Chains A and B, each alone.
Chain A
Amino acid sequence: DQQVKQNSPSLSVQEGRISILNCDYTNSMFDYFLWYKKYPAEGPTFLISISSIKDKNEDGRFTVFLNKSAKHLSLHIVPSQPGDSAVYFCAATNSGAGSYQLTFGKGTKLSVIP
């Protein structure tokens, strides 16, 4: 029972273009969503988050969009840079549950081609 799904295992994008990573969730109790970036042999690094009371959050080159009715969120990276090449994990939680337990997707490996 995968409550957070990232259906694209990999994505290749040319440097300077937009990268769009997608994530779907099934649990309607999720109300806080996060994106983490992970390099090999390192832990996940927090990128950006969004609360369900918003539909967009922007931080520099990174923008996250949330469509609650579709239970879908996406991460946009503009412009993409070679250093963005990593695995990106979408995560979700029910902030009212108290334990801040994150449910992760399986990740999307982004390759930015110079």
Chain B
Amino acid sequence: NAGVMQNPRHLVRRRGQEARLRCSPMKGHSHVYWYRQLPEEGLKFMVYLQKENIIDESGMPKERFSAEFPKEGPSILRIQQVVRGDSAAYFCASYGRTVGSPLHFGNGTRLTVT
């Protein structure tokens, strides 16, 4: 897991604030995925990005959530006007696009909305 770096590890926000979660993929990986895990649930796909492109955002809530993966720097998952239901663990994963290679996950950001 050390290859995919996520920060912060823990984030506390009050209702209505903005949350920014960062992810640096493994070296050489240009494909980034964001997943969310609610308590007692499996991981749910949110969005798939390549550098400067959103490829698949079918799992993203339509409002308040956005993601980017700029040419330089980490991928950012942004949640505006957070609500208590946004409290979850958010995991980033990267992929090297080699046939048969798995997704490699980071250790996640645990968001708590108070």
Residue positions of A touching B, CB distance < 8 A: 4, 6, 34, 36, 41-46, 49, 51, 89, 91, 98-107
Contacts and interface: CB of A to CB of B under 8 A. Distances in A.
Contacts of B102: 34, 46, 49
Contact of B1 (A4, A42, A51): A42
B44 interface: yes
A100 B95 contact: yes
A89 B107 contact: no
Q: How large is the interface on B (under 10, 10 to 19, 20 to 34, 35 or more residues)?
A: 20 to 34
B100 A49 contact: yes
B43 A89 contact: yes
Contacts of A100: 31, 33, 48, 95, 103
Interface of B: 1, 4, 6, 31, 33, 35, 40-45, 48, 55-56, 58-59, 91, 93, 95, 100, 102-108
Contacts of A105: 42
Contacts of B95: 100
A45 B41 contact: no
Contacts of B103: 46, 100, 102
Nearest to B102: A46
Nearest to B44: A104
Contacts of B59: 101
